Amino acid sequence: MTTFLPKEVRDGLDAARIASLKKASRLRVQVGDDYFRVLRMWRTGFAVEAESVPPLRGLIDLYDGSRYLYQCLIVASEEERGEMVYEFKRNTAATDRAPLDYTRDPDAPVALLPRS
């Protein structure tokens, strides 16, 4: 049995696969003021649609819906099956407060009450 498919059929299958990935994914990348849908993400990188997303490079922000997840330094890896694959050079998780320069005592009070 042969596994050869005509180019039109392969292109149609890839377009359908990308459309289903775009529909299912909440992840998006922010570059400047522009947002682009992330098709899939793994521990060392992510993939976006090759045709509709301009080439990305450098520092980007990664969101899950409106929740800020990571600030990433990326580099383009390869294009495969209609997806542009990027790898993380640095991937820093976003936090809602600044990091501490010291160790906080677990028994320390949360706040101090003023004297009355």
Task: Provide the CATH number for the domain around residue 42.
Answer: 2.40.10.430
Residue 10: per-residue pLDDT: 77
* Beta bridge pairs of residue 61: 30, 71
Answer yes or no: is 36 within a domain.
yes
Answer yes or no: is 1 within a domain.
no
Count of domains for the chain? 1
Residue 87: per-residue pLDDT: 93
* Model confidence pLDDT, tens digit, residues 49-97: 888 888 888 899 999 888 889 899 999 888 888 889 999 999 888 887 7
* Model confidence pLDDT, tens digit, residues 88-108: 999 888 887 777 788 888 888
Answer yes or no: is 115 within a domain.
no
Residue 62: per-residue pLDDT: 92
Answer yes or no: is 13 within a domain.
no
User: Does position 43 have pLDDT exceeding 60, yes or no?
Assistant: yes
Answer yes or no: is 35 within a domain.
yes
The pTM assigned to this predicted structure is 0.68
Mean pLDDT across the chain: 83
Answer yes or no: is 102 within a domain.
no
Range of the domain at 52: 26-93
